[in-house]
């Protein structure tokens, strides 16, 4: 009996580890892998990063998920930056794939109701406030900022705040006209967002304290014809004394889930967007509060 159990464990380990990434695995192998990682990692942040390893090189596809008709409710074959984060949160919470997929819908939709009009389409008006309300994430931007402000050289630093007034006119650009026609009850109102400037982040990456597995969002300048200011998000982890940003990237060079040296990444986009009409200006941090 003992020998049989050992052989069974060896079979499971071989099956789980026989393929490197989720997009190369069958659904049964994916579930076995998720359960294997849950058993190995009781700590939430370690589990989250460990599971995200299996998403590396997963192809990028814009808006890959839907309501289960034209687009699937979930996918381990392709992701965009938001569905990458959502799916990781779901499988970090639950090792059972059915439970994880059900939980994914609570992250993606207000009140978990699978309906396009109830989907958390926009970060500052829907995704962030709804998932904070559901106690799935918490804003730790000020905590991270204070880890650098409390140093003697940084006592004069201040955290930045943007007040974004979103009205129907905010959806006037071509990018959002289709959405405006589809969803009549548009998210509108005054929203306040605190963020850390790119300069303060870059200058203090050697001393800043960002919890492993934190979600980082990229903040852009305010555009009157855009209802959004967040253009990208992903996870943060550290290795060898450096911070890395893991996200589903879409650029000329990279169209997949990839790791980036955080300092190089932020420095590049700070310079790349500085002369554009929608420059990158700062970052926010959120901690998953899964149990």
Q: Can you give the CATH number for the domain in which 87 is found?
A: 1.10.3670.10
- pLDDT bucket at 251, cuts 50 / 70 / 90: confident
59 and 154 both lie in a single domain: no
Q: Which of 136, 19, 121 is nearest to 88 (CA)?
A: 136
Position 8 in a domain: no
205 and 238 both lie in a single domain: yes
State the pTM of this model. 0.92
Quick one: pLDDT at residue 77? Answer: 97
CA 231 to the chain's CA centroid: 11
Most confident of 53-62, 171-180, 251-260: 53-62
112 and 142 both lie in a single domain: no
Position 142 in a domain: yes
Looking at the 3D structure of the chain, how many domains does it have? 2
Kindly report, residue by residue over 42-70, the tens digit of the pLDDT.
Answer: 999 999 999 999 999 999 999 999 999 99
185 and 103 both lie in a single domain: no
Position 7 in a domain: no
Position 1 in a domain: no
| Alpha-carbon gap, residue 247 to 217, rounded angstroms | 10
DSSP H/E element including 289: none
Burial class (CB in 10 A: 0-12, 13-18, 19+), 79: buried
User: Is the separation of the CB atoms in 236 and 284 below 8 Å?
Assistant: no
Q: What percent of the chain has pLDDT over 90?
A: 85
What angle in degrees, to the nearest 10, is found between the helix axes of 97-108 and 81-93?
130
> What's the average model confidence in pLDDT over 76-100?
98
Q: Is the pLDDT of residue 177 over 50?
A: yes
Q: Can you give the CATH number for the domain in which 194 is found?
A: 2.30.260.10
> Which pair of tokens denotes residue 60?
């990028």
| Alpha-carbon gap, residue 257 to 262, rounded angstroms | 15
> What's the average model confidence in pLDDT over 88-111?
97
Kindly report, residue by residue over 23-38, the tens digit of the pLDDT.
Answer: 999 999 999 999 999 9
Quick one: pLDDT at residue 283? Answer: 98
Quick one: pLDDT at residue 178? Answer: 85
Average pLDDT of the chain to the nearest whole number: 92
Position 128 in a domain: no
User: Is the separation of the CB atoms in 111 and 131 below 8 Å?
Assistant: no
Domain boundary among 85, 118, 151: 118
Q: Is the pLDDT of residue 12 over 90?
A: no
270 and 156 both lie in a single domain: yes
| Alpha-carbon gap, residue 18 to 21, rounded angstroms | 10
Residue 255's φ and ψ, nearest 5 degrees, are: -130, 65
189 and 236 both lie in a single domain: yes
Q: Is the pLDDT of residue 261 over 90?
A: yes
**Residue whose entry in the numeric block shows the structure tokens 């289709």:** 178
Quick one: pLDDT at residue 281? Answer: 97
185 and 267 both lie in a single domain: yes
> What's the average model confidence in pLDDT over 1-9?
40
| Residue ranges making up the domain that contains 64 | 15-118
143 and 106 both lie in a single domain: no
262 and 165 both lie in a single domain: yes
Position 29 in a domain: yes
Q: Is the pLDDT of residue 19 over 60?
A: no
249 and 221 both lie in a single domain: yes
Quick one: pLDDT at residue 245? Answer: 98
148 and 260 both lie in a single domain: yes
- pLDDT bucket at 291, cuts 50 / 70 / 90: confident
101 and 159 both lie in a single domain: no
- pLDDT bucket at 229, cuts 50 / 70 / 90: very high
Position 123 in a domain: no
> What's the average model confidence in pLDDT over 65-85?
97
> What's the average model confidence in pLDDT over 246-272?
94
User: Is the separation of the CB atoms in 175 and 138 below 8 Å?
Assistant: no
Q: Which range, of 10-19, 39-48, 112-121, 228-237, averages the lowest pLDDT?
A: 10-19
Position 127 in a domain: no
């Amino acid at each position: 009996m003992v020998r049989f159990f050992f052989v069974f464990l060896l079979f499971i380990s071989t099956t789980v580890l026989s393929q490197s990434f989720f997009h190369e695995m069958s659904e049964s192998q994916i579930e076995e892998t998720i359960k294997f990682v849950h058993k190995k990692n009781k700590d939430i942040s370690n589990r989250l990063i460990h599971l995200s390893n299996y998403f590396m090189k997963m192809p990028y596809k814009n808006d890959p998920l839907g309501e289960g008709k034209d687009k699937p409710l979930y996918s381990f074959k392709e992701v965009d930056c938001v569905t990458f984060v959502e799916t990781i949160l779901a499988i970090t919470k639950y090792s059972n794939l059915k439970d994880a997929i059900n939980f994914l819908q609570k992250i993606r939709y207000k009140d978990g109701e699978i309906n396009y009009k109830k989907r958390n389409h926009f970060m500052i008006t829907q995704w962030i406030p709804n998932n904070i309300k559901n106690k799935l994430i918490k804003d730790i931007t000020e905590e991270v900022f204070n880890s650098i402000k409390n140093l003697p050289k940084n006592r004069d630093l201040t955290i930045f705040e943007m007040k974004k007034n979103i009205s129907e006119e905010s959806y006037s650009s071509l990018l959002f006209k289709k959405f405006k026609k589809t969803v009549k009850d548009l998210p509108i109102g005054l929203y306040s967002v605190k963020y850390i400037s790119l300069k303060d982040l870059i200058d203090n990456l050697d001393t800043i304290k960002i919890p492993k597995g934190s979600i980082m969002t990229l903040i852009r300048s305010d555009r009157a014809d855009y209802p959004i200011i967040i253009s990208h998000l992903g996870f943060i982890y550290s290795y060898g004394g450096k911070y890395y940003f893991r996200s589903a990237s879409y650029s000329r060079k990279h169209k997949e889930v990839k790791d980036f040296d955080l300092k190089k990444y932020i420095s590049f986009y700070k310079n790349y967007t500085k002369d554009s009409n929608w420059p990158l200006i700062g970052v926010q941090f959120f901690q998953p509060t899964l149990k």
